Structure 1
């Protein structure tokens, strides 16, 4: 992937450069300091950042920026990810609490927007053999996810011309309540998630989520972020197969963050991804996968089952989760700006 150099950040009080593997500890410490003040539900730890530095699609040397103070301490960072030919880029950033409200956030947003334009232009050039971009090339779009409670960040995005395009609800289900019984139909079998099933589940996932808002197909690197996530728990996950053919019909992929107990006061099993192939919907497969997940979480000694759902999910997932005892506890917003 040939990139031009990343744009400069217009905030001269910090010294700016791209992130490298040698920055992992200091980068993780910056995110942890910010999280201690802002109390997000989840934030990236060192192991997550290590995985990010290995990306081939979005190399950190070209898609990140780190701001250092006069003592060499990182005070702010931003990074961008984009799938080749994708319709949007995703922006991530954090500013040390001691450096907030000085204009650093605005400077990072401007940097992310400039880099988004650059990435879209590069993809258009690559797709048209270096000639002028094709007329069907999508307008550059930058998406940033923020929890609703992060009010100063939401205000900054609004002032900077971003719009809320989607709401996501974090939902919890106490495992102390009686667990549902949801047996599978005849001709279907539930098996543990294991590495040998990963590629078949990836292909099924891409098919299942093709009609979901904002979803883009996951290539092997993108899928690797899910199945090789440091918090991934294949032992708490499961796949439903068609008995005759062995094809993947549905899946529930779970993770567990042992640090949440200290931060949030309870332990949780988290369903990262849940999907059922269109032609098998209406047969109780999602209920069976969630009921199985609850049993696995409870057996592992966890207090709650949790997941996130798009509030306008086209499959009516929200109603299903409520029926199974989940209740919304927190809202995240997807903010977009078309550049």
Structure 2
């Protein structure tokens, strides 16, 4: 496809492009679901996650989203970019309706995403940085698109699962008490998360708004989530936040509780808090009628999380790949 002038929208495959708007959410979700079904994806964005695009004050949808519509007004492609102020990395997400692939649409949108992120860097007085995106390891369409556009795989994340039958019971360490997650703990846990993940690859501090988006997800389960508190100081030592995807049974044939985020602050590491939180989560999942526990892990996690999960009986199911490209050429 011929390169487009700055700030122009792609033309490819006979689609008309414009930014996403509030009224597009039903068609957008239907498109996301069609793509996920065709790719046998183990997850896809929920309605609430898509809705955050229209609330995100850092990445306004009018400037950072793109939608492609056919002649009948059906949503056939989408792209979005996001970037935190001052960050050296921007993110690109998107997809094309399975019936409209192999027409240059994905390449056109990727060109637009890269161009938009270059503009974001420039607006902050920064040199061009990295663009990052994620795909399932087994996804020929996305893999081919990124490889052909000069992206390189830089990190692998494993989805891991274990049956809840025979789940280990781990005692809570001395000086720690596990408390049910409540809204009163939301901000202390956010701050603890930003500290705990400061040494994790690809992690950036979450703003109050971004944290609120997570907690507003229809899949979030506060009753399955817990916070480890230091009994002497009352500080948050660790936490685990859990999710439940009601579509998982149809996809996987099992009911799963999912640990979305697990973290322990540095000063409290090495005391078995993470194991106790996972054990507590599994007990909560089992009490809710779940059959399996599931989570994701960076295979090169600096805290040794992969070994911890394996020791708790989790086994790899599939992998996700992080791809990167430097926008400076």
Q: TM-score band, normalised by the shorter chain? A: over 0.9
Greater CA deviation, 13-22 or 224-233?
A: 224-233
Q: How many residues align structurally?
A: 322
Q: Map of 1:310-329 to 2, 5 A cutoff?
A: 310-329=298-317
**Distance across 2 between alignment mates of 1:283 and 1:45:** 36
| Stretches of 4+ aligned residues off by more than 6 angstroms | none
Q: Map of 1:24-103 to 2, 5 A cutoff?
A: 24-103=25-104
Question: Are 2:307 and 1:306 equivalent residues in the alignment?
Answer: no
User: What are the superposed Cα offsets for residues 137-177 of structure 1, whole Å, 9 maximum, x if unpaired?
Assistant: 3532111100001122112101110011100000001112x
Aligned to 1:22: 23
Give me the CA root mean square deviation: 1.2
Superposition TM-score, scaled by structure 2 size: 0.95
Q: Map of 1:133-212 to 2, 5 A cutoff?
A: 137=126, 139-176=128-165, 178-212=166-200
- Does the C-alpha gap of structure 1 residues 13 and 298 become closer, same or farther in structure 2, counting only changes over 3 Å? same
Aligned to 1:131: none
**Distance across 1 between alignment mates of 2:279 and 2:176:** 15
Question: Are 2:242 and 1:254 equivalent residues in the alignment?
Answer: yes
Aligned to 1:226: 214
Query: Is the 2:158–2:317 contact (alpha carbons within 8 Å) kept by the matching residues of 1?
Result: yes
Question: Structure 1 unaligned runs (5+)?
Answer: 125-136
User: What are the superposed Cα offsets for residues 200-222 of structure 1, whole Å, 9 maximum, x if unpaired?
Assistant: 01111111111111111111111
User: What are the superposed Cα offsets for residues 28-58 of structure 1, whole Å, 9 maximum, x if unpaired?
Assistant: 1111111111111111132321232211111
**Distance across 1 between alignment mates of 2:26 and 2:64:** 19
**Distance across 2 between alignment mates of 1:115 and 1:216:** 20
Question: Are 2:238 and 1:237 equivalent residues in the alignment?
Answer: no
Aligned to 1:128: none
Greater CA deviation, 44-53 or 17-26?
A: 44-53
Superposition TM-score, scaled by structure 1 size: 0.93
- Give the drift of 1:192: 0.3
SS at match of 2:197: helix
Query: Is the 2:12–2:103 contact (alpha carbons within 8 Å) kept by the matching residues of 1?
Result: no
